[in-house]
Amino acid sequence: MSLRIFATLHRLLGNYGLQSLRLQSASQEFRMALTDPFAIQNPALKLPVISWFYGGSYTSGSKDQFAPILPIYEGTGLLQVSSGNVIFVASNYRLGAFGFLAGTTMEREGTPNAGLYDQRAALQWIQNHIGLVGGDKTQVSAWGESAGAGSILHQLVAFGGKQDPLFSRAVLQSPGFTFAFDRKGLLERNFKTFANATGCAGQGVSCLRAANAEILQRANTQLLSGQGSENFTVGPSTDGNLIRQLPPLELASGSYTKIPTSFIFSHVSNEAEIFIPPDILTDSDFNTFVDQTFPLYAKDAGVNAAIEAHYPPVMSGSVPPKYATERDRVRDLQGEYLFYCNIRFLSDAYEGENYNLQYSVTPGIHAADLLPTFYNLNVNLTLFGELIPTSLILLFGSFAQGYQSYLTSHARSGDPNKYRKIPNIPPTINWPKPGTGGDVFTGVLDAGDLGFSLITDGKTTKSRCQFWRDVAAAVTNLGGYAPPGSVVPTNLVPVTGDPSRNYKT
């Protein structure tokens, strides 16, 4: 998330008289914001529950971000706009090496994707206890943005879709992650880098468990020091168990849960702007960036060359050329690879059960949709600065409440229209499920500078995203990491040998 957005979010939420209940255990701390004490005193209410997972590139963030001065993720505005008809729960999960260290050593001796298990523990806590304070465990909505939404996507494909995700609805805002699949290669090298930094080289997970906490934290910082905003050293990774293979492939092979019945999938209009490496200035720099993203065996097979052709060099190819600058080229790659195509993959898998959304309020950059999601009535709108255009700033509070009303209506009923705010300025409109007959989605709700409208979404085209599904299949099958029975074929490059030869549970 950009520093400007963080600065704005510092001033986003004001004070509101909510009943707050804090519950702690040795491993997890929860804060539950309730509309009033009546919900605690009347557990028969059976209110729908929102379970929030924050973003932060899988390396930073907290449910108590900026607390106690400004607790961003307390859900105040959502409770206001729903008139107290939801319960909001925010939970922490382990980050960085503590949450997402992976590779073959971790598979043998530890627990890869520990952060995802933490999230499931939070959802299980809701199942076990939310009824004591008026919540309905059968109406749980998992919400997340960026890494939080990417985490929810991984929960949907956990164990090949054979596990109850413990939620029945979901809102995924800008679900993002990189392809982390090379279990014997890059993922194991990251483990060794971390172990070396702690003095545990060659001594396995048991040594890490015995290491001093300060040493582990320094090693975590060192591991992440090579991670810019444009890529991820750690994050959800394939492990042959919880995450069998990359989510696009699990979704394509039907290996995902069918339990949730309603979704909102959303993205912003300019996802990639803050994920463009500043040092990519030439075609050679672009090629180096691709080489650093994928293993050598993928390059040798021609995967990298296919990516470089899919995003052709500056001032080449068509007339007029597709890209005038290297920045334009990288913007398209990062936008489709990290974010937009995840919306396509999810929408194809859950066709008929989803509503699609674009947030395009100027400047439309990644995480800007957190502003209306967590807006509340006490916000001083002049503090938003250039994140809200002058033409909209006088109406932003009402706009944000309209936006929130769609989300909370979905949490309450599975339909974003049923309890949307009417009347409202700008007016909310009926939001249909997207049309899926062609290369693009139609009937997508756009939340923009002039309010709400329906658009055709040119960011999530089927043809562009099929390419990234083919890339995922190619690098998985070439490495021999495909789970038997769920191999997704690809014609991107020739694949020889058993695509499951290195797959182990």
Q: Which amino acid is at 179?
A: F
Q: How many helices (H) and strands (E) does the chain have?
A: 20, 10
Q: Which of 278, 445, 449 is nearest to 363 (CA)?
A: 449
Grouping H, G, I as helix, E, B as strand and the rest as coil, residue 147 is: helix
Residue for token pair 């520093």: 3
CA 49 to chain centre: 20
Q: Give catalytic status of residue 146 as yes or no.
A: yes
Give residue 261's identity as a one-letter amino acid code: T
What burial letters (b/e) apply to 144-169, b meaning 16+ CB within 10 Å?
A: bbbbbbbbbbbbbbbebbeeebbbbb
Q: How far apart are CA 413 and CA 139, in angstroms?
A: 9
**Residues in CB range of 362: below 8 A, 6 or more apart:** 388, 389, 449
Residues 6+ apart with CB under 8 A from 221: none
Question: Strand, helix or coil at 267?
Answer: strand
| Rounded Cα distance, 486 and 500, in Å | 10
CB atoms within 10 A of CB 284: 11
- CA gap 54, 311 in Å, rounded: 31
Q: Which of 51, 141, 146, 409 is catalytic?
A: 146
CB atoms within 10 A of CB 83: 10
Which residue type, as a one-letter code, is found at position 1?
M
CB-facing half-sphere around the CA of 185: CA atoms within 13 A = 18
Measured between alpha carbons, how far is 145 from 54 in angstroms, rounded to an integer?
6
Beta strands in 283-371 (DSSP E): 354-359
The two structure tokens encoding residue 147: 């890494």
Amino acid letter at 32? M
- In the chain, the amino acid numbered 92 is N
Give the catalytic positions in this structure: 146
